Amino acid sequence: MLAPADVLPLLLSTVIFVGLLVAATLLWAAHRSRKDAARLDLTQRLRVGGPRLDMFLDDPAQTPLGRVGRIVATWQERAGKRPAPVRFVFLCLALALGGAVAGGFLLRGPGMVAGVLLGWIPSLLLVFQAQARDQALTTQLPDALDLMTRGLRAGHAFTDALRTSSRELLDPLGEELARVSERHRLGKDLRDCLDDLLRRNPENFDLRLFCAAVMLHREAGGNLIESLENLANTIRERMIFQGKVEALTSEVRFSATVLAMLPFLVGTLILVFKASYLLPLLESPLGHVILLGGGASMLCGGLVMRVLARVEA
């Protein structure tokens, strides 16, 4: 059996080797993703008037990560990032591996299990960014619809009103409308441009209503100005109602946050003022099991409280 003095250099050598391997792989993946993105962007711009050309990462068979790469690329697009699933997956694996090595060195087996959870941090951040961007799209959409109706009333075509709105609005909606307008100007059918908009933002119900109203007017006719005005008013009224719901449920959500953070605060205070009380949990195998069980229970309880505090407006 190796002595502790012999284990530490071996462990450090392993960590350094794995870190260099992951770094080299990440650099290679970043280089490949930049080349592929530039090539595909040029291909999309040159292939005007032809059949619909989906983005490279829409087809799982064309990405080295398969279905996982497609899911990651979709979330990255929803968050407003350039799709780079290979780099993202390797980042998650590197964090999970580093956390497992550090946790195993500090707390043995249970520490390795807890360290692997670090690999979920980039995924959680990506989901939060996608949700925030989706909310920003919904918030900007009524103003965009107002700009379009003013342009239509002035006698402009819908595509001109769409281009004007994309120039006046800030990101993220300004960027999305600019992509639709630019691709349509280069010869792509408007339906395909709107389908791409919905594919990049699959969970935004208001954008789906907007695209449906535009395509319905294009195929069946009708008063597009009135439809867009009614849609803008409906979105604003729902946002006001949602704000009232959030105000009424703020106490429940704040209580859930306090209850979720309370064990960590109390544990930190005990560790600072009387660390001997927590040593059995940190040193004994049974204490490790208790910590893992308590953490899992707190996670489940936090998710349950989050679901109870959520009200669909």
106 Cβ contact list (under 8 Å, min separation 6): none
CATH of domain 131-247: 1.20.81
Q: Which two tokens stand for residue 166?
A: 């994309």
Q: Rounded distance, CA 105 to CA 7, Å?
A: 10
188 Cβ contact list (under 8 Å, min separation 6): 48, 49, 52
Q: Rounded distance, CA 21 to CA 130, Å?
A: 30
pLDDT tens digits, one per residue of 236-274: 999 999 888 888 878 877 887 888 788 888 888 887 788
Ranges in the chain, pLDDT < 50: 1-2, 4-7, 42-61
Residue 308: predicted pLDDT:
73
Q: Backbone phi, then psi, for 82, in 5-degree steps?
A: -70, 130
Contact between 168 and 147 (Cβ < 8 Å): yes
User: Where do the DSSP E strands lie in the chain?
Assistant: none
Contact between 288 and 111 (Cβ < 8 Å): yes
Residue in the structure block whose two tokens are 């590197």: 94
Q: Rounded distance, CA 292 to CA 287, Å?
A: 9
Residue 55: predicted pLDDT:
39
Nearest one of 212, 191, 159, 200 to 52, comparing CA atoms: 191
Nearest one of 177, 83, 84 to 137, comparing CA atoms: 177
Q: Which two tokens stand for residue 25?
A: 């792989």
Amino acid letter, 103: G
Q: Cα dist. 192→51, 78, 148, 188 in Å?
A: 10, 18, 20, 7
pLDDT tens digits, one per residue of 93-144: 888 888 777 777 766 666 676 677 788 888 889 999 999 999 999 999 999 9
Task: List the chain domain ranges.
Answer: 4-129, 131-247, 249-309
Residue 31: predicted pLDDT:
58
